[in-house]
Amino acid sequence: MSVHLIDDVPEGLTRRARSFIGTHGVKVDVRPVEENRQWWLERDIPAAVIDRMAAYQQRWGGLLLPPAPLYDGGPKYLDPDSPEPDSAGWWFEAGMQRTAVPYGFMISPSGEFGVHADKWAPLHATVEGWVESLALAHHASEWATQITRLVGDDVDGIELDGYEPVREVMGLADTWWRGPDSLVALYTGEATALDFPRARTALIYSGLDDWGLHGGVDPVDD
């Protein structure tokens, strides 16, 4: 597998995420979607679905980033595969797992990024949201003076009065919250997908100054 430095960071991301990708990301070689187009067409996979996968690969294919705090690190690298339908439409794999986890990382028919096991758990409204969450987790872990981990019912005790959602992560099952001197990440994707409430997890990054809270993202724009 060939590995390359990144010289074409995707647009439409915050400065924090672009810096994260440019500094910590690499690209690996992937097999072009177009090589499988005819094979998929012969198996009644709609051309529009293959087009979606090709567009996803054009933007994200081969991107390998540092591991996520949960989901056993998330996809090893981003690349589409395994289109499959259900009553909602066509899904495809967002990227192969780093380790053996009991779910797949998927892109939904409406473009959400999430995990699919017995149930579907959309983590972020877009792939960009997932990448932003990785960048924010990396940034917060570097600047926090303390990181507290809560699981299961202990998550219910978190008080978020005075906190605002971090909009750039486009959170669904997973959300980030910004307070006066801390960031709170709430992860409920595994709990939802596996129907296992005790898997709910929160990470609280405390002792942050303004740079730690925003990481170069203008508070007016984030």
* 219 is a domain residue: no
Tokens of 131: 């990448």
Average pLDDT, the chain: 94
Domain count, the chain: 2
Phi/psi region, residue 38 (left: phi>0; alpha: psi -120 to 50; beta: rest), is alpha
Which residues sit opposite 85 in a β-bridge?
Answer: 90
Domain assignment present for residue 42? The answer is yes
Residues 18 and 62 in one domain: yes
Q: Are residues 138 and 108 in the same domain?
A: no
Residues 74, 55: one domain? yes
Task: Name the one residue in this structure whose structure tokens are 């430095």.
Answer: 5
Residue 221 has pLDDT above 60, yes or no: no
Residue 220 reports pLDDT greater than 50: no
User: HSE of 213 in the Cβ direction (CA atoms, 13 Å)?
Assistant: 16
Q: Report the run of H or E that residue 58 belongs to, with start and end.
A: helix 47-60
Tokens found for residue 72: 């056993």
Q: What integer is the mean pLDDT of 156-170?
A: 96
Average pLDDT on 99-108 reads 97
- Assess contact for 206 and 195: CB atoms under 8 A: no
Compute the average pLDDT of residues 170-197. 97
In angstroms, rounded to a whole number, what is the distance separating the alpha carbons of residues 18 and 32?
Answer: 24
**Domain stops at, among 102, 126, 150:** 126
Q: Side by side, which strands form the sheet with 81-86?
A: 81-86, 89-95, 104-107, 113-116, 120-124
In a domain, 172, yes or no: yes
- Give the confidence band of 1 by pLDDT, cuts at 50, 70, 90: low
**Tens of pLDDT, residues 42-95:** 999 999 999 999 999 999 999 999 999 999 999 999 999 999 999 999 999 999
CB atoms within 10 A of CB 37: 16
Domain that holds residue 204: 131-214
Residues 100 and 136 placed together within one structural domain of the fold = no
Is residue 222 situated within a structural domain? no
* Same-domain check for residues 37 and 105: yes
Q: Which of 88, 110, 126 is the last residue of a domain?
A: 126
- Band (pLDDT 50/70/90 cuts) for residue 218 is low
Instruction: Specify if 221 maps to a domain.
Output: no
